[in-house]
Amino acid sequence: MSKTGAAKVMTATGPVWCHFSQSANTTKLRRYSEGTAFEVEADDDAIVEFVPLEQCKKLVRAESYSFENAAVWSQILQLLETGSCPTTESQSKLTTKAPLVVPITELRRIYDVMKLFDKPTMQNMAAFFADTPASLERLWELSRKSFSAYQNPDNWGRGETEDLPVAPAQLSAVSSTDEFTAYLTAHPLDGYAFVEREINPWRTRSGVFSNKLPATKSGRGGMDLLLRSARTGYPVVGEIKVKADKNAFYALMQAMTYGVEMSTSHQLTRLKTHFPQAFGDIAPDNASVEILLLLINPVEDETRNSVMKLIQKLNERRRCKGLEQIVMLFNEGDTWAPRS
């Protein structure tokens, strides 16, 4: 069954109205310029409003409403974009609610620029936070406050994730995140149960970030593992770094960014709803998250000692609300080093 009309699409430069057509599993979005139609590439989840063809016909009278009739559709889209189309009872029912706004937390802002830092900068930052853990605790609290209003009941929708490779026979043979995930499913880690992988905490259908950019289903990265703690039953944000893939400090900041976005009562309710077997028993208003850093076949890392010191202080002080504990594990050959 085909579907035609006009759709409001969130793009990197803001919202635009396009001609919309859908047949089977194919969706096409078109804009018009100087009498010519051209297709717009956008995720289906970037569509935030839809006006069916029958309602579009009430805006502009014409003999043909084919997408090839550029003059007609240019006029329809212009009316929708300027909001100058007649306001009627039927027209008022066309649009959907405003897109959900996804907050960009303080931790997220720092994490987003960390990839630009060189090794000495990373080392200095790790040492600074190890000496002044209150600074990182403050970022956690500000971030959690920023994200506390975000309420999204939808699932995380992971249907397009690629299959895992064959698990290596030995831990020392792991060379990628997916290989370790496959290894983990075959060799469960003591104290943790695998729940899911590649979960993006802020994935939001038809949402926009607080900087007005579209929050499409592809998102901008996500946590490597979602685990369940055998000790507490709480969700665990698992971050994997293999060989020279970043350093321990980068892994910690990345995991804390995801962790704080999972720690609010709304997000814990979302986990409880969509992963009832793993988290059906948690009380979202009282539960917390845990963080697990997994450094697999690690290379020399000048931030690791500072990160271990910082983790110890954060766990002892327990001043990050919604954070139960942080654990860092790394292997030595085919065995795990003592837990830190």
Look at residue 170 and give its three-state secondary structure: coil
Kindly state the average pLDDT of the residues 160-186: 91
Distance from C-alpha of 203 to C-alpha of 168, rounded to nearest angstrom: 31
Q: Is residue 271 scored above 70 in pLDDT?
A: yes
pLDDT band per the 50, 70, 90 thresholds, residue 210:
low
Cβ atoms < 10 Å from Cβ of 188: 11
> Rounded to the nearest 5 degrees, what angle is found at the Cα of 228, between the Cα atoms of 225 and 230?
140
Instruction: Render the burial of 42-58: b for 16+ CB within 10 Å, e for the rest.
Output: beebbbbbbbebebbee
Contact 188, 216 (CB under 8 A): no
The residues spanned by each domain of the chain are: 3-92, 101-336
Kindly state the average pLDDT of the residues 116-143: 96
> For residue 91, what pLDDT band results from cuts at 50, 70 and 90?
very low
Residue entry with tokens 């994935």: 203
* pLDDT tens digits along 285-312: 999 999 999 999 999 999 999 999 999 9
Out of 162-171, 229-238, 320-329, which region has the weakest mean confidence (pLDDT)? Answer: 162-171
User: Could you give the percent of the chain with pLDDT greater than 90?
Assistant: 63
Residue 68 CB contacts under 8 Å (≥ 6 apart), including other chains: 37
pLDDT digits (tens, 9 = 90+) for 13-64: 778 899 999 886 688 899 998 888 888 887 666 777 888 898 899 899 999 9
User: Contact 238/224 with Cβ under 8 angstroms?
Assistant: yes
Indicate the DSSP class of residue 1. Answer: -
Amino acid at 70: A
Q: Positive or negative, the Cα torsion across 143, 144, 146, 151?
A: positive
